[in-house]
Structure 1
């Protein structure tokens, strides 16, 4: 009987489907200063604890927030003047820096039809929005990564970079030429662009969504 059970276990192990091997390169989220930055949780993928899809996907709260900004853009801004980007829209700064926005507003006079192709945008977004830190930053703290990325995007030509931090219910707004970057709670009216405002905290409350602070 014991031999039969061992045989069954061995057969089960042999027939259990194995997760496909994932290359380290496929887990790169961004490139900054020539160094690859991997998705948060990439080590769990390499060890077989998680799939690549599990670490690359957005949480329900994150995609609800991105959806809210897209609603604001389409309802309040001129779609003949701007392109509205989502889905980790990539931006190519130079050969050493490839970064990503979660949501972005591009001026059509800057991102002209001849610049739209199968590659990353190589012109700056007017407004870039990020929802949480999705990069593995185990080698540096959150603030350093956020500050470095924000500075690079502003230097590239973006007018404003907005960070949403769901764990603390805060928003950071960094503007071109500003003396300081402001971080505040998300329960307030903030200008997106062109005199149009958003209030993320109010929107979530109106939708009955409760977010616990870490």
Structure 2
């Protein structure tokens, strides 16, 4: 139990954060779910803070449909829904969409534990981490570099607030694109978030 000092100089206990409110560990630092303090204060439930927004869910579903119809299941495996990656003892990360080659992740290696091998591609939509743990840009850049150092060949971040797509690869300058541009996931497979939302009739595009 941690302690804080009150205005009168007395020490009072501060409630520990339950483990289920921790989203990831990055360089040994716990990264909590955004708005976790509201759960601890009782003003929100855990379900309210861990759920994806409507636009985030729509984009993830769009990407999943694209990948499921275009990727050869005999060569690739797709994991989603904040799949866990264990990089090392100080880094446990989560990803919205992870694309593995079946050579890297055979079906026999998939179990109840976090995956311990690098995906070929990681796709993230928005940031679930609490901004008081780490500023959004710092979090995005730090996590992306960790994934690339782990062996991921491409990291793609889609941010709905800025309507941008960041594409990071190990041996090239990272690119930031307007989300109305075509973005390649793998050779021959591209997506265009802005175009998709326009075609759906979304005013969010």
Q: TM-score, normalised by structure 2?
A: 0.89
Q: Answer whether contact 2:32 2:133 (CA < 8 A) is retained.
A: no
Q: Match for 1:147 among 133, 141, 146?
A: 141
- Deviation string 1:163-202 (CA, Å, 9 cap, x unpaired) is 0100011100001211x11111100111110221111111
| Alpha-carbon distance in structure 2 between the residues aligned to 1:208 and 1:196 | 23
Shift of 1:151: 0.2
| Structure that is richer in helix per residue | 1
Which piece of structure 1 moves more, 140-149 or 158-167? Answer: 140-149
Structure 1 residues without counterparts, runs of 5 or longer: 1-21
After TM superposition, give the deviation of residue 89 of structure 1 in Å.
0.8
2-structure distance, mates of 1:176, 1:208: 36
Q: Residue 66 in 1 paired to residue 60 in 2?
A: yes
Q: Partner residue of 1:56?
A: 50
Query: Secondary structure in 1 aligned to 2:104?
Result: coil
In 2, the alpha carbon distance for the partners of 1:108 and 1:210 equals: 39
Q: Distance in 1 between matches of 2:165 and 2:124?
A: 10
User: The residue matched to 1:26 in structure 2 has which SS?
Assistant: helix
Which residues of structure 2 form unaligned runs of 5+?
Answer: 1-15
Q: Which residue of 2 aligns with 1:82?
A: 76
Q: Aligned ranges for residues 98-177 of structure 1 at < 5 Å?
A: 98-177=92-171
Q: 1:191 aligns with which of 180, 184, 189?
A: 184
Cα deviations across residues 15-39 of structure 1 (Å, max 9, x unaligned)? xxxxxxx952110000011111100
Q: Report the number of matched residues.
A: 191
What root-mean-square deviation, in Å, do the aligned CA atoms of Structure 1 and Structure 2 show?
1.5
Q: Secondary structure at the match of 2:165?
A: strand
Structure 2 counterpart of 1:181: 174
More strand by share: 2
Aligned to 1:88, the other structure's residue is in SS state: strand
Q: Aligned equivalents of 2:21 and 2:27: distance in 1?
A: 17
Per the normalisation by structure 1, the TM-score is 0.86
CA-to-partner distance for each residue in 1:67-106, whole Å, 9 max, x for gaps?
Answer: 1111110122211110111100110001110001101111
